[in-house]
Structure 1
Amino acid sequence: PMMQSSTGGQILKRKGYTLSYNADYKTPQWVAWELTKKETQGKEERTDKFLPDPDVRGAKAYTGDYTKSGYDRGHMAPAADMKWSKQAMEESFYMSNICPQNPNLNRGDWNDLEEMSRQWAKKYGAVYIACGPIYDTKRPKRIGNNKVAVPNAFYKVILINDKKNPQAIGFIFPNSAGHKPLKKYMVTVDSVEKRTNIDFFPALPDEIENRIEAELVQELP
């Protein structure tokens, strides 16, 4: 992904994902990764060890910022997508990959989409995923000693680069309790780009990118 404004963050390349970090909010702007069919079959166990990111320059979040805040430590790149490598699994618990997330959302509908993404990776061989927080205000609520900013919503965009029928699907989830079918959160990738100021699939040929980002996918693949 590419930020369309001057507010680009620190780019951090990990074994399993890449992210752009916002030092003011102490959350990522975007986290992006490819998930292959083979990677869904890994055997690494969750570490559940949340760690401050050693590579973040300047202000950073610590696990204690979330304690008793009412918010989960919500993974952007999920641990379950990183079971193919011990290093990838450990790095998924860096706090730079974490956002304050409503517990019901984290464990419910957001988790459902993570599961669905793994199913698509198995079915289509690979998927490309980018996700992150949405802030609708310049002065978001903050939690913890390090003033981690609480998002208003979360986005996820998924590219199924199937040669015959490439599809790009956008999702926007309010950062609140909900219990809805995933279809209710589906939007065009274009609308996610407008709301976030991020260009998600710049590497695609323009005519394909423009077409699939404007399409509203009606049914889950």
Structure 2
Amino acid sequence: MVRRKKKKQPLKINYLLIFIVLVCLVYEPIRQTVYEKHREEQSSTQHTSEKQDTKKEATPFHAANGTKLEIPAKLKHATEQILYRKGYTVSYNKELKIPNWVAWELTPEKLVERESRTDKFLPDPDLPEDEAVTTDDYKGAGMDRGHMCPAGDNRWHWKAMQESFYMTNICPQNHNLNRGDWKELEESCRRWAQEEGRIYIVCGPILYDQRHRTIGKKHKITVPEAFFKVVLCADSNPPKAIGFIYKNASGNHPLDSYVNTVDEVERITGIDFFPALPDEIEEKVETEYDLKLW
């Protein structure tokens, strides 16, 4: 009688079970690692997207299609000649011999003092020689040669400094105002630019509906009754703007004594400020102001 060999099925089953257990043990860590890596990639992508969106919200208007946010709309009821400078743009009124407005962008980079103040007032080379106001026209007038775009905002480049002393950037200004409250506003604007990162400024003379005083023998220069300045920070969240009006006279008052809405400055001057802003943003920032936000 021939004996049959016993089948070793149980041993094979044991090997199969062991194999299955090993696969399970190895698979779970691999699955978990792949899952965690996928989550990290999703989180990183979402974070980058949120960061980009936040940045977009924080600077929604800067350099949009090359738009210069500080430039007002074209004037309808005044003569103007637009002159482009290194540090500012001026709308010059050749009839009044003063600017209608001067506009510029101010950033922390432009507050780096690379150049010394020149104090050399120059006739504008872009005007005919017989029309260009000179510093001699101010002699004996008892008025300061008041910068609209201040020399202190143009120390970042030699050409910007030189051009800040062109007489097309100058108005007859009360000495006490020029060296006092007006200067304090200029210093505040530099502080705001440092804190905010970028602001847009427009300033100029205010001429009320009356007969105006003039100075100068060769050129009759109109003396403004007051001055305005409007400031926009488009990069803040939300954007904000504020206006100021100063009588062209002696005074010593705190900054909040001169505060107005941009709308009020527009009403008085007839100038449309910051037209490159989206309408809903422009309307909001120009009807509100809060000096405490600055």
TM-score normalized by structure 2? 0.73
- On the 8 A contact 1:183/1:220 being kept in 2, the answer is no
Which one has a larger percent strand, Structure 1 or Structure 2?
1
- On the 8 A contact 2:240/2:289 being kept in 1, the answer is no
Tell me the distance in 1 between the aligned counterparts of 2:286 and 2:252. 26
- On the 8 A contact 1:183/1:219 being kept in 2, the answer is no
**Aligned match of 1:89:** 161
SS of the aligned residue for 2:191 comes to helix
**Aligned match of 1:193:** 266
**Aligned match of 1:113:** 185
**Aligned match of 1:37:** 108
- On the 8 A contact 1:188/1:217 being kept in 2, the answer is no
**AA partner of residue 139 (structure 1):** R
Tell me the distance in 1 between the aligned counterparts of 2:282 and 2:227. 22
Q: Please tell me whether residue 152 in structure 1 is matched to residue 228 in structure 2.
A: no
Tell me the distance in 2 between the aligned counterparts of 1:211 and 1:8. 30
- On the 8 A contact 1:136/1:152 being kept in 2, the answer is yes
Q: What's the CA shift for 1:42?
A: 2.5
**Aligned match of 1:18:** 89
Identity percentage over the alignment?
55
- On the 8 A contact 1:101/1:175 being kept in 2, the answer is yes
Tell me the distance in 2 between the aligned counterparts of 1:15 and 1:81. 11
Tell me the distance in 1 between the aligned counterparts of 2:259 and 2:293. 9
SS of the aligned residue for 1:119 comes to helix
Q: What's the CA shift for 1:138?
A: 5.2
Tell me the distance in 2 between the aligned counterparts of 1:68 and 1:154. 22
- On the 8 A contact 2:212/2:222 being kept in 1, the answer is yes
- On the 8 A contact 2:147/2:165 being kept in 1, the answer is yes
Query: Please, which of 198, 201, 206 is the counterpart of residue 279 of structure 2?
Result: 206
**AA partner of residue 257 (structure 2):** K
**AA partner of residue 288 (structure 2):** E
Tell me the distance in 1 between the aligned counterparts of 2:162 and 2:278. 35
Q: Please tell me whether residue 104 in structure 1 is matched to residue 171 in structure 2.
A: no
- On the 8 A contact 2:79/2:95 being kept in 1, the answer is no
**Aligned match of 1:49:** 120
- On the 8 A contact 2:82/2:90 being kept in 1, the answer is yes
TM-score normalized by structure 1? 0.96
Q: What's the CA shift for 1:56?
A: 2.3
SS of the aligned residue for 1:156 comes to strand
Q: What's the CA shift for 1:61?
A: 1.4
Q: Which is worse superposed, 69-78 or 162-171? A: 162-171
Aligned length: 221
Q: Which runs of 5+ in 1 are unaligned?
A: none
* Structure 1 residues 6 and 75, CA gap change in structure 2 (3 angstroms): same
Q: What's the CA shift for 1:59?
A: 2.4
**Aligned match of 1:5:** 76
- On the 8 A contact 1:172/1:192 being kept in 2, the answer is yes
Tell me the distance in 1 between the aligned counterparts of 2:77 and 2:152. 33
Q: Please tell me whether residue 176 in structure 1 is matched to residue 249 in structure 2.
A: yes
Q: What's the CA shift for 1:46?
A: 0.6
**Aligned match of 2:45:** none
Tell me the distance in 2 between the aligned counterparts of 1:48 and 1:125. 28
Deviations 1:29-61 (A, max 9, x none): 000000111111122001100011011257231
RCO higher in structure (CA 8 A, sep ≥6)? 1
* 4+ residue segments displaced more than 4 Å: none
**Aligned match of 1:129:** 201
**Larger-gyration structure (1/2):** 2
Q: What's the CA shift for 1:160?
A: 1.3
Q: What's the CA shift for 1:139?
A: 3.1
Q: What's the CA shift for 1:220?
A: 5.3
SS of the aligned residue for 1:198 comes to coil
Q: Give 1:56-71 correspondences, 5 Å limit.
A: 56-57=127-128, 59-71=131-143
